[in-house]
Amino acid sequence: MRKARYLALCAMLAGASWAAEGAGDKVFLAEVLYAPGAGALPFIELYNASEDNVDLSGWRISIAAKDGPETVTLSRDKEKVVIPGYGFYLIGREKDRGAWSSSSYKPDFYCQLSMEYAKGRGGVMLLRPNGAVRDAVGWGLAPWRFFEGTPHEPVAQGHSLERKSGPTHNEVNGNSYDTGDNSTDFRERPKPQPQNINSPRERPAATTEGNAWGRIKAMYYDQ
Ligand SMILES: [Ca+2]
């Protein structure tokens, strides 16, 4: 009896730890507009390639800004912090709140990050509440930790840096191509496309077994 109880407890703990580690494993840095053109506003966009909503409370965004690293914690005090399954999440600057108001895709979270980067180099990290790096994208001479593999080439003023949907990018699937190399996984996007929690959801490309299963489940259960 005692043994059975012990085994049940082990199973429960194993399940709990799997859930804790698994939640958010497919949240990606999807698009960064770091050098906006005239009239445009800088942003950082996330994409959730899992079918489950993910609560981002306590998650952090850290940027390699012009004057050094800056970090903000996503908190539910005043903003929405849940990224929908297969959905997006948009982060803008508090000081641009008024300027975004006429846009149809307002940020879900306004923060104090400067979003001002040195010319030709910078990076963004997405961190879990425990400080573990979930994702990173860097460009040019990005500082250590602020990139994966090789940083992407800097993009032209007004263009954004966008994670591809797959080895060949399409506009139907979400931004979840991830080989661990920024120079391969991202592309220069001439016309930035900020997306927020209200934007149409996009399925990830079925490049892995997990994604394929997600699509099958979505077909049968998302009706
Ligand atoms: Ca986008």
Ligand 1 geometric centre to CA of 69 (Å): 24
Q: Say if residue 40's pLDDT is above 70.
A: yes
Confidence grade of residue 114 (pLDDT, cut at 50, 70, 90): very high
Token digits for 125?
A: 């990290």
pLDDT, position 78: 64
102 vs 209 pLDDT, higher one: 102
Ligand 1 center–CA 5 separation, angstroms:
49
Name the CATH superfamily housing domain 24-221.
Lamin Tail domain (2.60.40.1260)
User: How many angstroms is it from 14 CA to the middle of ligand 1?
Assistant: 36
Task: Match 């899992």 to its residue by tokens.
Answer: 50
How far is 30 from 187, CA to CA, in rounded Å? 11
Counting every residue, how long is the chain?
223
What is the pLDDT of the chain when averaged over all its residues?
87
Say how many Å lie between the CA of residue 6 and the centre of ligand 1.
48
Q: Compute, in angstroms, the gap from residue 17 CA to the centroid of ligand 1.
A: 32
- Ligand 1 centroid, distance to 185 Cα (angstroms): 14
The C-alpha angle 223, 194, 122, rounded to 5 degrees, equals 130
Residue 146 CA: distances (Å) to CA of 3, 124, 150: 48, 6, 10
Closest CA to 63 of 130, 139, 159: 139
Instruction: Looking at mean pLDDT, say which of 3-12, 92-101, 201-210 comes out highest.
Output: 92-101
* Gap from CA of 106 to ligand 1 centroid (Å): 13
Asked whether 103 and 86 are in contact (CB, 8 A), the reply is no
- CA-CA distance, 123 to 114, in Å (whole number)? 13
Residue 3 CA to ligand 1 center (angstroms) comes to 52
Two tokens at 113? 């990050």
Ligand 1 mean position to 32 CA, how many Å? Answer: 8
Q: Identify which has the larger pLDDT, 223 or 37.
A: 37
pLDDT at 223: 33
Write the pLDDT tens digit of every residue in 178-222.
999 999 999 999 999 999 999 999 999 975 444 554 455 445 444
- Residue 47 reports pLDDT greater than 80: yes
> What is d(CA 108, CA 88) in angstroms, rounded to the nearest whole number?
10
Where residue 21 falls among pLDDT bands split at 50, 70, 90?
A: very low
Distance 130 CA to ligand 1 centre (A): 27
pLDDT of residue 89: 97
Question: How many A from CA of 8 to the centre of ligand 1?
Answer: 44
- How far apart are the CA of 195 and the centre of ligand 1, in A? 5
Q: Which residues of 11-21 are buried (b: 16+ CB within 10 A; e: fewer)?
A: eeeeeeeeeee
Q: Tokens standing for 213?
A: 């299963």
Q: Where are the domains of the chain?
A: 24-221
| Res. 5 pLDDT band, cuts 50 70 90 | low
